[in-house]
């Protein structure tokens, strides 16, 4: 079927019938033709970005696995190095703004105060471990250490000025609240 403009051009004698048929065939080819092929570089870029994405995901998985492994090692250290602390004497310490109480025997109190022992988080409870185990634990999961008088970095540097003022007034280590 021809369009009205082609019919008018034929009647006026400006074009021949063969020319009109050739133009109609070309238009039909254009309507039914496939889209032009995309450049070859696009799939290569897609492969490259997918590879980068896969590397990033793999790095995130490795980091997560390393974190889980360190937590598992920390739990194993706590379970193996745990010191029995059953007793009747309460030992109070501050954790996250709350005062916690741990029942210990009288022989552990001076060791806790001197820094020979440390108190760590063991799930929902607390555990007492030696200072050597606390040092290993500090490398793997420092957030599990609740109280460590012998550990490095126990007092922040900004508090040193304030602590100098109070050094003249010693507080006994056996003080029970």
Q: Is residue 70 part of a domain?
A: yes
Q: Write out pLDDT tens, residues 33-87.
A: 776 655 555 677 888 888 899 999 999 999 999 999 999 999 999 999 999 888 8
**C-beta neighbour count of 136 within 10 angstroms:** 15
- Residues of the chain with pLDDT > 90: what percent? 29
- Is it the case that residue 156 has pLDDT exceeding 70? no
Instruction: Among 111-120, 150-159, 161-170, name the one with the lowest average pLDDT.
Output: 150-159
N-terminal to C-terminal alpha carbon distance within the chain: 103
Does any domain span residue 2? no
pLDDT at 155: 44
Number of domains in the chain: 1
The answer as to whether 26 is a domain residue is no
Is residue 114 one of the residues assigned to a domain? yes
Please indicate, yes or no, if residue 74 is contained in any of the structural domains: yes
Tell me if 21 is assigned to some domain. Answer: no
What lies within 8 Å, CB to CB, of 85 at 6+ separation is 102, 103, 104, 105, 108, 127, 128
Q: Is residue 158 part of a domain?
A: no
Q: What is the extent of the structural domain holding 131?
A: 45-153+171-177
78 is a domain residue: yes
pLDDT digit string (tens) for 106-121? 888 888 888 899 999 9
In this prediction the pTM is: 0.55
């Amino acid at each position: 079927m021809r369009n009205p403009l082609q019919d008018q051009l034929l009647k006026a004698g400006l074009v021949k019938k063969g020319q009109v048929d050739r133009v109609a065939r070309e238009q039909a080819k254009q309507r039914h033709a496939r889209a032009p092929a995309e450049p070859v570089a696009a799939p290569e870029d897609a492969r490259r970005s997918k590879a980068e994405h896969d590397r990033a995901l793999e790095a995130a998985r490795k980091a997560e696995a390393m974190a889980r492994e360190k937590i598992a090692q920390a739990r194993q250290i706590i379970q193996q190095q745990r010191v029995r602390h059953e007793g009747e004497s309460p030992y109070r310490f501050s954790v996250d703004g709350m005062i916690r109480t741990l029942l210990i025997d009288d022989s552990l109190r001076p060791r806790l105060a001197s820094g020979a022992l440390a108190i760590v988080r063991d799930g929902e409870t607390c555990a007492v471990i030696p200072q050597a185990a606390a040092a290993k634990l500090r490398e793997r999961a420092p957030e599990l250490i609740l109280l460590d008088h012998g550990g490095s970095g126990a007092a922040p540097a900004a508090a040193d000025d304030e602590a100098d003022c109070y050094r003249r007034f010693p507080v006994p280590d056996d003080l029970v609240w």
